[in-house]
């Protein structure tokens, strides 16, 4: 029986930790407490609500018999019509906690009666969501009944819930076919049926999605259909001949837009059917897929010699991470410092001293001393003996730039060569000597892994808090430069032997810097030993897909924390834009909350990188992934100032606004001021309750003379809105004022 621990967002942290097993109530007491909530004052003290939810969770999850009795009580309350809408929502949320073992058909009847009034949509959707994970053998039958007789929004919810249960293919296909026949006039039904077919997966779903793609004229519908198609194809156990044919058809279609072609090409790459890239966009996609999927073979057509420098830089980084291709890398003659540094990094991992002259020839590219310092670290780390002697000999007669690079490298080697002596000072000197030694060691970056390991061994003996803080700062800085397996193992050893929580909390942080499978297994072990929040915090910083095996094992073994663990998996997927990870399919098909149900949508929402939300006044915050420092100008009431993308309009430029609380909005207007040609192009609009949980909005985009207007099909209640430019073109995207029409 699946149960969801739903956090309502109202509970003080202290209440969670104060809760004791004795807070579990008898079924009779819990029934009385349910009845007591009929007349709860929702605007008053929330303590009573907290006192209701936690005992409900503990009582309902104690065993299936108790859960069933609570389920029956919740059903009887719904059938009685007691309480207001908020009470019915509470009953629906309570059913998500208790689970649904026997009441599916009766609940379907209640939903059908309630669906006649739009005000009931919210709590009905929550029950439908609970039916999606119900253990009741009649759950599918109940959902089909709702699908057949409920209002359109609830029909959509039922179709989605059925698809998560791998049921309702006939119904989803019927909706999709009817939308195809109508020319996709009903976009909510169109997108819902496409998502359901993707969840259901399999060759038959793929046929329907392919037909939808071919029949659609709306670019957004075509993109949704192709996205769903290739998601389904990627989750088949083996490559699909039909998918390979469809991908080839799209690649040959001159009318297919770039995002769709990139999806098709990505599938071809994963099935080793890709041909030489048609353009730079495809080259970059191929390289990025190789970066995110270390096990994916490198296509033979992807040659360093045939790429431009920025693409060469990316591919060199991929090859270096894999430890291959060095013979081709060292042949490159860079014209940019970025490629030169990437080659030097490869040499540090795979080269030898015979490469010194080639690496030193890059010196004229590094007029900036800081950049020269970075490449000198890699040169100093190239494998070899008597490096100081060899480099000193090369310095004689060298031109100024080469001499400067050698000098920078020698400085690094000099401090590194003294590392053993400095470490001894840290180990046995007085506090002043220790601090001086740590400061000097910070420049010995070529020896960072060895120094880190040595400092780990010394760490337990350091008692001076100032010295300990300085050591911690140095170790963190070294790990961010490069956190090797040896460094991770040293940190794990100290974690395992640490006597206090502060030390364990310090050493656990190095797992996310490594972001390897070994690091993920270490965190899983730490989680099992009681450091749950710390382990999940570090998992949340993961930089790739290596954490999912460990997290999925934790999810299965820790039902009480299931929602938290899955939330971390969703964060890793969205933060790193892991569109093609099989975990996307897993999370979507077993969704337990709104954020997970919206995962495929969230992967379409652009990332905002290092940009930060800016307070623009009145509790409103805004963020943009281009020109982020100027977002405030779109809310200052001054039509002479503007936010601008500060570069050509490109796919994925996003502008997001967060309100202090959710509000009902009729439309949004982007004022163009004096830049009436700077409109958003082929926009997508997402709304939701938080930046990490958004859904596609049903909006009509229109161009007025002096503004872009987004009119919602009906007033939309949301806290966050994100507008995304999806077409490449010259010229800026500008917003002089961002206005809500309520």
> Within 13 Å and on the Cβ side, how many CA atoms surround 495?
24
Task: Answer yes or no: is 51 within a domain.
Answer: yes
Q: Quick one: 478 and 581 in the same domain?
A: no
What percent of the residues of the chain are helix, what percent strand, and what percent coil, each to the nearest 5?
Answer: 60, 10, 30
Q: Quick one: 442 and 481 in the same domain?
A: yes
Q: Quick one: 428 and 539 in the same domain?
A: no
Task: Answer yes or no: is 90 within a domain.
Answer: yes
CA 717 – CA 694 distance, rounded (Å): 12
- Write the CB contacts of 294 (distance below 8 Å, at least 6 apart in sequence): 321, 322
Asked if residue 552 lies in contact with residue 521, where contact means CB atoms within 8 angstroms, the answer is: no
Task: Answer yes or no: is 359 within a domain.
Answer: yes
The 10s digit of each residue's pLDDT in 584-624 is 889 888 988 888 887 877 778 888 877 899 999 999 999 99
- Write the CB contacts of 511 (distance below 8 Å, at least 6 apart in sequence): 488, 491, 519, 520, 522, 523, 538
What does 671-702 look like in DSSP terms, one character per residue? E-TT-TT----S-EEEEEEETTEEEE--EEEE
- Write the CB contacts of 202 (distance below 8 Å, at least 6 apart in sequence): 232, 236
Task: Answer yes or no: is 443 within a domain.
Answer: yes
Asked if residue 206 lies in contact with residue 233, where contact means CB atoms within 8 angstroms, the answer is: yes
At 495 the pLDDT is 94
Strand, coil or helix: 659: strand
At 443 the pLDDT is 66
Question: 16 is written with which tokens?
Answer: 């969670």
Question: 605 is written with which tokens?
Answer: 């929402």
The 10s digit of each residue's pLDDT in 281-340 is 878 888 888 888 887 788 877 889 888 999 999 999 999 999 999 999 999 999 999 999
Q: Of 597, 723, 698, 716, nearest to 184 (Cα)?
A: 698
Residue 625 belongs to domain with CATH number: 2.60.120.260
Q: Of 708, 640, 709, nearest to 678 (Cα)?
A: 708
Q: Quick one: 528 and 546 in the same domain?
A: yes
Strand, coil or helix: 741: strand
Give residue 275's Cα distance to chain centre.
30
Provide the 8-state DSSP code for 250.
Answer: H
CA 450 – CA 443 distance, rounded (Å): 13
Q: Quick one: 517 and 498 in the same domain?
A: no
Give CA angle at 297 (294, 301), nearest 5°. 125
At 10 the pLDDT is 34
CA 715 – CA 667 distance, rounded (Å): 8
CA 514 – CA 525 distance, rounded (Å): 16
Task: Answer yes or no: is 633 within a domain.
Answer: yes
Q: Of 253, 251, 252, nearest to 285 (Cα)?
A: 251
Q: Quick one: 501 and 518 in the same domain?
A: no
In the chain, how many domains are there?
A: 5
Give residue 184's Cα distance to chain centre.
30
Asked if residue 103 lies in contact with residue 75, where contact means CB atoms within 8 angstroms, the answer is: yes
The 10s digit of each residue's pLDDT in 498-539 is 989 999 999 999 999 989 999 999 999 999 989 999 999 999
**DSSP H helical segments within 418-531, as ranges?**
419-428, 431-441, 448-458, 465-481, 485-497, 501-507, 510-514, 517-528
Q: Of 313, 306, 314, nearest to 288 (Cα)?
A: 314
Task: Answer yes or no: is 604 within a domain.
Answer: no
- Write the CB contacts of 237 (distance below 8 Å, at least 6 apart in sequence): none
What does 6-33 look like in DSSP terms, one character per residue? ---S---HHHHHH--GGG---HHHHHHH
Provide the 8-state DSSP code for 618.
Answer: T
**In terms of residue numbers, what domain contains 492?**
418-507
Dihedral sign of CA atoms 710, 712, 713, 714 in order: negative
CB atoms within 10 A of CB 711: 15
Task: Answer yes or no: is 669 within a domain.
Answer: yes
CA 534 – CA 506 distance, rounded (Å): 10
Q: Of 629, 682, 634, nearest to 657 (Cα)?
A: 634
At 59 the pLDDT is 81
At 12 the pLDDT is 36
What CA–CA distances, in Å, run from 644 to 9, 385, 710?
A: 35, 54, 19
Asked if residue 342 lies in contact with residue 317, where contact means CB atoms within 8 angstroms, the answer is: yes
At 699 the pLDDT is 95
Q: Quick one: 588 and 713 in the same domain?
A: no
At 647 the pLDDT is 87
Q: Quick one: 326 and 386 in the same domain?
A: yes
Q: Quick one: 412 and 424 in the same domain?
A: no
What does 148-215 look like in DSSP terms, one character per residue? HHS-HHHHHHHHHHHHHTT--HHHHHHHHHHHHHHTS--HHHHHHHHHHHHHH-HHHHHHHHHHHHHH
SS3 of 315-383: the string is HHHHHHHHCCCHHHHCCCCCCCHHHHHHHHHHHHHHCCHHHHHHHHCCHHHCCCHHHHHHHHHHHHCCC
Q: Quick one: 567 and 577 in the same domain?
A: yes
Last residue of a domain, one of 394, 416, 438: 416
Question: 105 is written with which tokens?
Answer: 């058909």
> For 339, phi and psi rounded to 5 degrees?
-70, -40
Asked if residue 658 lies in contact with residue 686, where contact means CB atoms within 8 angstroms, the answer is: no
Count Cβ neighbours within 10 Å for each residue of 181-220 and write b for 16 or more, e otherwise.
Answer: eeebebbebbbbbbbbbbbbbeeebbebbbebbebbeeeb
Last residue of a domain, one of 507, 530, 557: 507
Crossing angle (nearest 10°) for helices 532-539 and 562-575: 20
Task: Answer yes or no: is 179 within a domain.
Answer: no
* Whether the model pTM is above 0.75: no
What CA–CA distances, in Å, run from 54 to 7, 24, 32?
A: 10, 8, 15
Q: Quick one: 42 and 68 in the same domain?
A: yes
At 50 the pLDDT is 73
CB atoms within 10 A of CB 481: 13
Last residue of a domain, one of 385, 416, 447: 416
Q: Note every long-range contact of 694-700, with CB atoms under 8 Å and residues 24 or more positions apart, other chains counting.
A: 694/598, 694/601, 694/602, 694/605, 694/720, 694/722, 695/594, 695/598, 695/601, 696/191, 696/601, 696/604, 697/721, 698/187, 698/188
Residues of the chain with pLDDT under 70: 1-24, 44-47, 274, 386, 388-389, 392, 396, 410-411, 413-418, 421, 436, 440, 443-446
Q: Quick one: 496 and 587 in the same domain?
A: no
């Amino acid at each position: 029986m699946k149960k969801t621990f739903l956090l309502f967002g109202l509970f003080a942290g202290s209440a969670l930790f104060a809760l004791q097993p004795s807070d579990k109530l008898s079924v009779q007491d819990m029934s009385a407490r349910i009845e007591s909530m009929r007349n709860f004052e929702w605007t008053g003290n929330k303590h009573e609500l907290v006192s209701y939810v936690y005992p409900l969770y503990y009582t309902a999850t104690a065993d299936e018999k108790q859960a069933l009795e609570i389920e029956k009580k919740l059903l009887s309350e719904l059938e009685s019509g007691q309480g207001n809408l908020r009470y019915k929502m509470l009953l629906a949320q309570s059913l998500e906690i208790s689970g649904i073992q026997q009441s599916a058909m009766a609940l379907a009847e209640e939903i059908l009666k309630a669906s006649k009034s739009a005000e009931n949509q919210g709590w009905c959707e929550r029950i439908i969501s609970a039916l999606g994970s119900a253990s009741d053998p009649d759950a599918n039958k109940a959902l089909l009944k709702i699908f057949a007789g409920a209002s359109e929004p609830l029909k959509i919810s039922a179709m989605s819930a059925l698809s998560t249960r791998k049921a309702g293919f006939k119904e989803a296909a019927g909706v999709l076919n009817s939308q195809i026949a109508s020319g996709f006039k009903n976009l909510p039904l169109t997108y819902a049926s496409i998502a359901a077919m993707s969840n259901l997966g399999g060759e038959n779903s793929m046929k329907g999605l392919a037909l939808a793609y071919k029949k659609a004229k709306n670019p957004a519908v075509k993109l949704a259909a192709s996205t769903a198609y290739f998601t389904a194809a990627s989750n088949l156990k083996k490559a699909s001949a039909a998918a390979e044919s469809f991908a080839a058809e799209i690649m040959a279609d001159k009318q297919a837009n770039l995002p769709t072609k990139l999806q098709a090409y990505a599938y071809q790459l994963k099935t080793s059917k890709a041909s030489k890239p048609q353009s730079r966009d495809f080259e970059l996609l191929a390289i990025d897929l190789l970066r995110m999927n270390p096990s994916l073979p490198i296509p033979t057509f992807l040659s360093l010699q045939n790429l431009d420098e920025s693409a060469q830089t990316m591919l060199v980084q991929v090859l270096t991470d894999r430890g291959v291709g060095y013979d081709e890398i060292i042949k490159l003659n860079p014209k940019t410092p970025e490629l030169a540094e990437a080659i030097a990094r490869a040499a540090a991992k795979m080269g030898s001293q015979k490469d010194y002259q080639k690496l030193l020839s890059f010196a004229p590219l590094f007029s900036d001393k800081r950049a020269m310092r970075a490449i000198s670290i890699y040169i100093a780390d190239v494998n070899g003996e008597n490096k100081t002697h060899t480099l000193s000999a090369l310095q004689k007669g060298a031109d100024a730039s080469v001499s400067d690079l050698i000098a920078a490298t020698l400085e690094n080697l000099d401090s590194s060569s003294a590392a053993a002596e400095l470490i001894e000072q840290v180990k046995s000197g007085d506090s002043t000597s220790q601090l001086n030694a740590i400061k000097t060691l910070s420049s010995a970056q070529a020896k960072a892994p060895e120094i880190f390991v040595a400092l780990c061994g010394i760490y337990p003996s350091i008692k001076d808090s100032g010295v300990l803080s300085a050591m911690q700062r140095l170790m963190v800085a070294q790990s961010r430069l490069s956190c090797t397996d040896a460094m991770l193992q040293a940190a794990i050893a100290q974690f395992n032997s640490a006597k206090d929580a502060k030390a364990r909390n310090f050493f656990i942080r190095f797992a996310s810097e490594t972001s390897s499978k070994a690091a993920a297994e270490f965190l899983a072990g730490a989680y099992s030993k009681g450091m749950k929040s710390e382990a999940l915090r570090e998992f949340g910083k993961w930089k790739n897909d290596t954490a999912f095996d460990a997290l999925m094992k934790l999810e299965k073994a820790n039902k009480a924390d299931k929602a938290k663990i899955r939330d971390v998996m969703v964060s890793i997927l969205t933060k790193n834009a892991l569109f093609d990870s099989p975990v996307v399919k897993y999370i979507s098909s077993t969704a337990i909350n709104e954020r997970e149900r919206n995962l495929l949508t969230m992967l379409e929402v652009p990332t905002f990188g290092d940009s930060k939300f800016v307070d623009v006044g009145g509790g409103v915050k805004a963020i943009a992934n281009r020109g982020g420092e100027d977002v405030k100008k779109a809310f200052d009431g001054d039509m002479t100032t503007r936010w601008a993308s500060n570069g050509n309009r490109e796919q994925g430029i996003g502008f997001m606004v967060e309100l202090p609380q959710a509000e009902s909005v009729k439309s949004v207007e982007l004022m163009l001021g004096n830049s009436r040609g700077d409109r958003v192009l082929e926009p997508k609009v997402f709304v939701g309750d938080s930046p990490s949980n958004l859904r596609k909005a049903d909006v009509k985009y229109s161009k007025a003379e002096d503004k872009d207007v987004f009119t919602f099909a009906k007033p939309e209640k949301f806290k966050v809105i994100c507008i995304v430019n999806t077409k490449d073109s010259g010229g800026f995207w500008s917003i002089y004022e961002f206005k809500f029409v309520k």
